């Protein structure tokens, strides 16, 4: 009957566009250099659209611990966080560095809000359990509150996130900043098209640590296995790459590793190392 009526119904399907967001993790060696940090923050201020900056603490926490005669232990590149060290990293990461970055961004007309994982309960975590090593007050992430983060973003705020979390029982925890970036990026991928950038002092993932220009342009699961087996990828880069692959497998659109001073070029698809899921 509908066909013989002569009435043709046109169904117009409107493509739903997903809003984009850039989540950028800044490496500690850039934070340690006042000139490079200023240059990076100028570029970050020019990034269009919604954005979140995640940072660690560079060498300042280590220097403060030395000044206070508090011994520091590292295992596989990760800091053992005893009670005294936790006080230092909280003051340095969630305090001085976080608020200094916020102040600079405000001067560049970026309405930044400096927080850590404990604020507004955005990143609850638990104390790491490891059968061979007691990492002290190191936190592994349990969840990310995307609703609260989205509310901040919709209010026009650009978040600056320090990697201090909490266990819900009053205990602060020190969490790896790369992992924090991956967890936030992954959680927000249900609401946004997410670009995750791990920016630091090198041009990308290098095939030779002695050659600053030996950037590997693309890493996928196949060549990653070969690079690890041959020892071409520096051991310190492996946790960052593992986080990158996990982010892609959990919904992040793209992951780039590269020079913090080339941030805008990286976001425009030029330079650095692109991590591919397949």
**Residue range 123-176, pLDDT digits in tens:** 999 999 987 889 999 999 999 999 999 999 999 999 999 999 999 999 999 999
Q: Are 155 and 162 in contact (CB under 8 A)?
A: no
pLDDT at 193: 97
Residue where a domain stops, chosen among 108, 143, 178:
178
Rounded distance between C-alpha atoms, residue 247 and residue 43, angstroms = 24
Q: What's the domain count of the chain?
A: 2
Rounded distance between C-alpha atoms, residue 162 and residue 165, angstroms = 9
Same domain, 171 and 203: no
Rounded distance between C-alpha atoms, residue 94 and residue 185, angstroms = 20
Q: What angle do CA 252, 224, 128 make, to 5 degrees?
A: 65
Same domain, 28 and 133: yes
Residue where a domain stops, chosen among 149, 178, 207:
178
Same domain, 209 and 152: no
Q: What is the mean pLDDT of residues 79-97?
A: 94
Same domain, 164 and 81: yes
Residue 50, domain member (yes or no): no
**59 has pLDDT over 80:** yes
Neighbours of 58 (CB within 10 A): 20
Q: What is the mean pLDDT of residues 210-233?
A: 91
Share of residues in the chain with pLDDT > 70 (%) = 93
pLDDT at 7: 43
Note the pTM of the prediction, 2 decimals.
Answer: 0.90
**243 has pLDDT over 50:** yes
**183 has pLDDT over 70:** yes
Same domain, 63 and 143: yes
Residue 17, domain member (yes or no): no
Same domain, 110 and 226: no
pLDDT higher at 115 or 56: 115
pLDDT at 57: 86
Give the least confident one: 67-81, 189-203, 231-245.
67-81
- Could you tell me the sign of the dihedral formed by the alpha carbons of 243, 21, 39, 212, in that order? positive
Structural domain boundaries, residue 133:
24-43+56-178
Q: What is the mean pLDDT of residues 236-241?
A: 89
Residue 10, domain member (yes or no): no
| CA-wise closest residue to 53 among 81, 27, 79 | 27
Same domain, 245 and 108: no
Same domain, 130 and 220: no
Q: What integer best gives the mean pLDDT of the chain?
A: 91
pLDDT higher at 15 or 213: 213
pLDDT at 13: 39
**Which pLDDT band, with edges at 50, 70 and 90, does 15 fall under?**
very low
Q: Is 26 left (phi over 0), alpha (psi -120 to 50) or beta?
A: beta
Q: What is the mean pLDDT of residues 216-229?
A: 92
pLDDT higher at 15 or 247: 247
3-state secondary structure 55-89: ECCCCHHHHHHHHCCCCCCEECCEECECHHHHHHH
């Amino acid at each position: 009957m509908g066909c013989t009526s002569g009435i043709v119904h046109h169904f117009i399907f409107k493509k739903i566009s997903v809003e984009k967001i850039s989540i950028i993790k800044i490496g500690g060696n850039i934070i340690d250099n006042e000139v490079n940090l200023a240059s990076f923050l100028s570029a970050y201020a020019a990034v269009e659209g919604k954005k979140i900056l995640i940072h660690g603490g560079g060498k300042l926490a280590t220097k403060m611990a030395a000044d206070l005669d508090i011994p520091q232990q590292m295992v596989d590149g990760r800091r053992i966080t005893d009670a005294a060290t936790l006080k230092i990293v909280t003051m340095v990461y969630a305090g001085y560095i976080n608020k200094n970055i916020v102040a600079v961004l405000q001067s560049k007309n970026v309405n930044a809000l400096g927080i850590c994982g404990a604020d507004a309960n955005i990143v609850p975590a638990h104390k790491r359990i490891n059968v061979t090593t007691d990492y002290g007050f190191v936190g592994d992430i349990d969840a990310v509150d995307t609703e609260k983060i989205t509310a901040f973003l919709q209010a026009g705020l650009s978040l600056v996130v320090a990697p201090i979390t909490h266990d819900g029982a009053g205990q602060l925890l020190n969490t790896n900043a790369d992992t924090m970036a991956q967890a936030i990026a992954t959680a927000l991928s249900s609401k946004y098209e997410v670009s995750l950038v791990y920016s630091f002092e090198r041009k990308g993932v290098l095939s030779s640590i002695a050659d600053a220009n030996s950037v590997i342009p693309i890493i996928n699961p196949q060549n990653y296995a070969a690079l690890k087996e041959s020892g071409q990828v520096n051991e310190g880069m492996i946790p960052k790459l593992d986080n990158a692959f996990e982010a892609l497998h959990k919904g992040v659109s793209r992951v780039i590793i590269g020079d913090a001073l080339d941030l805008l070029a990286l976001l425009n698809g030029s330079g650095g190392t692109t991590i591919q899921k397949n």
